[in-house]
Structure 1
Amino acid sequence: MLRVLAVDDEVPALEELVRLLRADPRISHVGCAADSAAALRDVSRVLVAGERLDAVFLDIRMPGLDGLDFTRLLTGFAAPPHVVFVTAHDDCAVTAYDLGALDYLLKPVRPERLAEAVRRLDEVVRRNAAAEDGAERPDQDEMVPVELAGRTRLVSRRAVTHVEAHGDYVRLHTQEGSFLVRMPLAALARRWQPAGFIRIHRSTLVASAHISELRFDGGRAAVQVGGELLPVSRRHTREVRDLLVRRFRHAAPPPETPN
């Protein structure tokens, strides 16, 4: 069961957030704080006491210490809680994800969208616990929530062949179509690197498992991903080539020994 802290300087917004969080059966405890300074004291007290705090759900624009500065200060703790921003402002999403935010919700919060954030939190907490126990599977998947025609759809990371940057968004490409997600490419590259995603261009991230061919033409490199030929920048050519060579060697059967 999850233990979380809700933070907002507006009393009605804080009460509504606490109410929604307490209604979720995956959450066993919901603390609350009226500003970031009080929240920081609460986090420090909980962690120093050796207790668990899985996430902080907080606003960004608050008097004194704002939500972004609060998140930066959390990195000073040995095992900081995850952060989910709940705000009326959509202009801080890029910074929030750069700081490692788990999710970014816009007010007024829709119950189903908050439930999706809690589901993601629960999945991450369980995965991290399994990793600490040495039980995490190397093929652990991740489901990415995308907004589509007013609905939230979950896209499997395994289904993503490549990702392209589009300003403050990224476009996830799958065989079924493409989906826009508000997240910087740099943050996604760091997050998905252990799952085999590799940067081939400043604006392109590719799942190495979906690369079928590496081509060279006039000194320019490109990779074949499904039915698309994607250019590889000079900066990333050697990294891509070395990765594919290692994958080929790993996949190749051992040589037969003569009888």
Structure 2
Amino acid sequence: MTGLAEETAVDEGLHVLVVDDELPAIEDLAYLLRADERVREVSTASSGAAALRALDHGDVAALFLDIRMPGMSGLDLARVLTHFERPPKIVFVTAYESHAVDAFELHAVDYLLKPVAQERLAEAVRRVVAEVTGRPGPAATADDETIPVELAHVTRFVRRSEVRYAEAHGDYARLYTRRDSYLVRTSLSALEDAWGDAGFMRVHRSHLVALAHIDEMYVESGRCAIRVGDMRLPVSRRNTRALRDRLVRNARPGAQRP
């Protein structure tokens, strides 16, 4: 399809294909996808070969693809799809973290771990829409950075838009997302310089925070603090006024989020 045709198709709803050799996994994922208003149709296939046949009979925007399947694995199928003139987007859905590097070398849009939470699946759908249309959507910026992180000898890939705040750990920094945290080999000062234009602000010598993820700002006993999800983070006196000004500007009608 042309770019305009792709956008029109997405606006009408995505047609996605769930590929897994286990029927309960297919049924669970298909149920969650059908609950997403951006998804128009969900097809299913129980093998790589069946998936290829299904692609001949419909305009599929994305595959939600298991990796470990008998015969043709999900990675094998993804390699075949790279030879298509206009391959569908790939979201890997697996119980194993060990294939993340291979998945992203194949330009996967996302990598979900089973069991899949509906909120995390919704983010994957958003990424598919952004890839197909070129529109980043409300949860990311056009230049959203992907950060490789190490966790138990496995490389995972985290989008900058998923990071709620970062905490200083000597010459390292720990990134906190909604569910996990990751130690990265860079200083908080380096992240501040790199991410300042992407809506992050240093609120304390130990914390760099994504302004979009701040839920509350309050003062107790003369000390300012913010709430980010379930975490309460201190704000230094020297940064309190600047932070308040940034949050007020962002809250004004018509103001763009940082």
Normalised TM-score (structure 2): 0.53
Q: How many residues were matched structurally?
A: 162
The secondary structure found in structure 2 opposite 1:101 is coil
Partner of 2:35: 23
**In the TM superposition, what is the alpha-carbon distance from 1:38 to its structure 2 partner?**
0.5
Partner of 1:64: 71
**In the TM superposition, what is the alpha-carbon distance from 1:126 to its structure 2 partner?**
2.0
1:98 to 1:19, Cα distance in 2 relative to 1, 3 A: same
CA RMSD of aligned residues (A): 3.5
Q: Does the CA contact (< 8 Å) of 2:66 and 2:94 recur in 1?
A: yes
Q: Does the CA contact (< 8 Å) of 1:170 and 1:180 recur in 2?
A: no
1:82 pairs with one of 77, 89, 92: 89
**In the TM superposition, what is the alpha-carbon distance from 1:165 to its structure 2 partner?**
5.9
**In the TM superposition, what is the alpha-carbon distance from 1:29 to its structure 2 partner?**
0.9
The secondary structure found in structure 2 opposite 1:116 is helix
1:179 pairs with one of 148, 158, 175: 175
Mapped pair 1:168 → 2:143: no
Q: Does the CA contact (< 8 Å) of 1:68 and 1:96 recur in 2?
A: yes
**In the TM superposition, what is the alpha-carbon distance from 1:108 to its structure 2 partner?**
1.1
CA distance in 1, matches of 2:79, 2:148: 27
**Once the two structures are superposed, what CA deviation does each residue of 1:142-184 show, in whole Å capped at 9, x if it has no partner?**
956xxxxxxxxxxx57686x95764614677899536379xxx
Q: Where does structure 1 differ by over 2 angstroms across 4 or more consecutive aligned residues?
A: 140-144, 156-160, 162-167, 169-181
1:30 to 1:158, Cα distance in 2 relative to 1, 3 A: closer
CA distance in 2, matches of 1:143, 1:106: 20
Matched ranges for 1:91-130 at <5 A: 91-127=98-134
Q: Does the CA contact (< 8 Å) of 2:130 and 2:137 recur in 1?
A: no
Partner of 1:219: none
The secondary structure found in structure 1 opposite 2:85 is coil
Partner of 1:32: 44
The letter of the residue matching 2:52 is: L
Q: Does the CA contact (< 8 Å) of 2:164 and 2:176 recur in 1?
A: no
The secondary structure found in structure 2 opposite 1:21 is helix
Q: Does the CA contact (< 8 Å) of 2:18 and 2:65 recur in 1?
A: yes
CA distance in 2, matches of 1:164, 1:17: 27
Matched ranges for 1:157-236 at <5 A: 166=150, 168-169=155-156, 177=166, 179=175
CA distance in 1, matches of 2:159, 2:129: 23
1:4 to 1:99, Cα distance in 2 relative to 1, 3 A: same
The letter of the residue matching 2:92 is: F
| Structure 2 unaligned regions, length at least 5 | 1-12, 167-173, 178-184, 196-201, 203-258
Normalised TM-score (structure 1): 0.53
CA distance in 2, matches of 1:159, 1:65: 33
CA distance in 2, matches of 1:172, 1:10: 29
| Structure 1 unaligned regions, length at least 5 | 131-139, 145-155, 182-202, 212-225, 227-259
The letter of the residue matching 1:14 is: I
The secondary structure found in structure 2 opposite 1:168 is strand
Q: Does the CA contact (< 8 Å) of 2:165 and 2:176 recur in 1?
A: no
CA distance in 2, matches of 1:120, 1:89: 21
The letter of the residue matching 2:18 is: A
CA distance in 1, matches of 2:88, 2:59: 8
**In the TM superposition, what is the alpha-carbon distance from 1:52 to its structure 2 partner?**
2.6
The letter of the residue matching 1:113 is: R
The letter of the residue matching 2:175 is: F
Mapped pair 1:54 → 2:39: no
CA distance in 1, matches of 2:81, 2:42: 19
CA distance in 1, matches of 2:64, 2:78: 11
